[in-house]
Amino acid sequence: MRDWLDNHKNDEVRTQMYYAKKGIITPDMEYVAKIEKLDVELVRSEIARGRLIIPANVNHRNLVPMAIGIASMCKINANIGSSALASDINGEIEKVDVCLKYGADTIMDLSTGGDLDAIREAVISHSSVPVGTVPIYQIIHDCGNDINNLTIEAMLKTLEKQAQQGVSYFTIHAGFLLQFMPHVAKRKMGIVSRGGSLMASWMMHYHKENPFYEAYDDILDICRKYDVSLSLGDSLRPGCLADASDEAQLSELKILGELTLRAWEKDVQVMIEGPGHVPLNQVERNMKIEREYCHEAPFYILGPLTTDIAAGYDHISSAIGAAVGGWHGASMLCYVTPKEHLGLPNAKDVREGIIAYKIAAHSADIARGRKDARVRDDEMSDARYGFDWNRQFELCLDPDRAREYHDETLPQDVFKEAEFCSMCGPKFCSYKITQQIVEAHPVTMGSK
C-alpha cells in the first residue's frame, strides 16, 4: 500500500504535513479520505493546518494509514508492553493480535523490561496500525536505569534508533519546565506520569532545564526525516480529582502550545496528550482550554477518570470521561484497562479496555453527529426487533462476547431462530407482544 514512498525516498522532508502544505495529496491521504468518507482536499487542508495527523513512519511499510483529528472519527489507542517483572515477546504479540482483532486504532509499546529493541521490532512488524512509544523508558534502560546518566546525545541516539525501526509517534515530555516544580509541591499526588517523574528527578539533580525541551529542535529534525508524529506528553497530568485543572497542568499545556507551533514550522505532525483524572463537570472545559492553548492540534486524552475509587473497574470510570471528552472535541482516547493502578495488563485486560473505549469513541461520534455514525446502531435495532440473532452478533463491537452470553442458556442452533431470549422467555417478550398488537390492530396503530 505504501510503495509510493519509494518515489519520494530522496525528498529532504517526507512528512504528511510537508506534502500537505505543498498542495500534494499523498496516497495515504487518499486512503484516509475514503475510509473516513471525507473529501480528500479537506483531509489535505486539515493536515496542512495541523488539525489532523496521519501518524505513519516511512519505515513502517505494512501500516494501514489512519487519521487522528477533529474532522475524522474518534479513535482509540491501546497500551501494551513488558515490565521489569514480566517480559515476553510472544506475550506482547498476543496483545497486538487482540488489539487488531477488537479494533484498536493505534498501539503504544510501553515496554520497560527485557530486550526492548527486539520487542519493539516484533510489535511493529506484526502491527498494521501505527505504533507509538515513550522513548524515555528505553533511554533510562540504556543508561543503566539511572536517570542521572542521561545525556542529550544518548537521548537523540535512542530517538533515531526507534524512528529507524518504524515508530510512528513519540510521546516526549518536553513541556515540563524546571520553573514548574513549585506547582508540583502544592498537589495532593505530585507527579503521576512516569516520564514526568523521571524528568523532574533529572532536573532537580542537575538543576538544569528539561533536556527534551533543550534539544527540541534536534528532535524535530529526526521526526521530519522519518515522519514521526509527536505526541506532546502531559508530564503534569492530574493523578487524582483534587489535582485536576490546576496550575501545574495548565502551565505545562501552555508550553505544549508553543512547542506545537515550533513543530509545525518544521512540518512535523503533532497531537497533544491530556488528562488524567478529571471530575465529569470539568471535562468539557479541559477540551476547550486545549484547543485554545494548543491551536486546535488534535487532543489525545487518557480517560479521563471521573472518580478515584473504581480500582478494578477503571476501564469503566475512565470510559465515562472519555466519551464526554470525545463528544467535546478529543480526537483520540487512550484506553484504560481493569488493571489500571493495580498491575500489568494481560491479553484479557487489553480486550476489556479496548471494548470499553470503542464504546466511548462510538458514543462520542454519535453525539458529535458524524456522518453515518448511527447506521450500525439502527441496523442493530432492526435485527433485535426482527429476532435476527446472528445479525445482532455481527453488529456487536465484541461479537464473541455477545454470542457467548446468549449461548450460556440457549446454546442450540435452533434458538438462533427463536423469537425470544432467556431473559423474558417466549411469553413475556416486549418486542413480540408489540408486534402482535400491531398485527391485531393495524388501523389503530397506523400500520398498513
- Residue linked to cell 431462530: 417
Cα-based torsion angle of the residue sequence 353, 358, 359, 360 in order, rounded to the nearest 10 degrees: 90
Q: 348-397, pLDDT tens digit by residue? A: 999 999 999 999 999 999 999 999 999 999 999 999 999 999 999 999 99
Question: Which pLDDT tens digit goes with each residue over 107-134?
Answer: 999 999 889 999 999 999 999 999 999 9
Measured CA to CA, the distance from residue 343 to residue 66 in angstroms comes to: 30
| pLDDT at residue 147 greater than cutoff 70 | yes
- pLDDT score, position 247: 98
Q: Residue 25 above 90 pLDDT?
A: yes
Please state the rounded mean pLDDT for residues 206-223.
97
Task: Provide the β-strand partners of residue 172.
Answer: 232
Q: Which of 22, 24, 23, 30 is nearest to 1 (CA)?
A: 30
Reported as a single tens digit per residue, the pLDDT across 276-287 is: 999 999 999 999
What is the distance between the alpha carbons of residues 174 and 227, in angstroms, rounded to a whole number? Answer: 19
Residue 421's pLDDT band (boundaries 50, 70, 90)? confident
As a whole number of angstroms, the distance between CA 108 and CA 170 comes to 9
CATH 3.40.50.720 fits 74-367, yes or no: no
For residue range 224-262, list pLDDT tens digits in order: 999 999 999 999 999 999 999 999 999 999 999 999 999
Q: Where are the domains of the chain?
A: 74-367, 375-440
Q: How many CB atoms lie within 10 A of CB 370?
A: 17
Q: Residue 419: CA atoms inside 13 Å, Cβ hemisphere, count?
A: 13
Q: Is the pLDDT of residue 21 over 70?
A: yes
Mean of pLDDT values over 402-430 = 83
Total residues found in the chain within this entry: 448
- Hunting for cell 532536573 — which residue is that? 203
Q: Is 448's pLDDT higher than 60?
A: no
- Whole-number mean pLDDT of the chain? 94
The mean pLDDT value for 299-310 works out to 97
pLDDT above 90 covers a percentage of the chain that reads 84
Provide the pLDDT for residue 102.
Answer: 97
**What does the block give as the cell for 248?**
501545574
Residue 306: DSSP 8-state? S
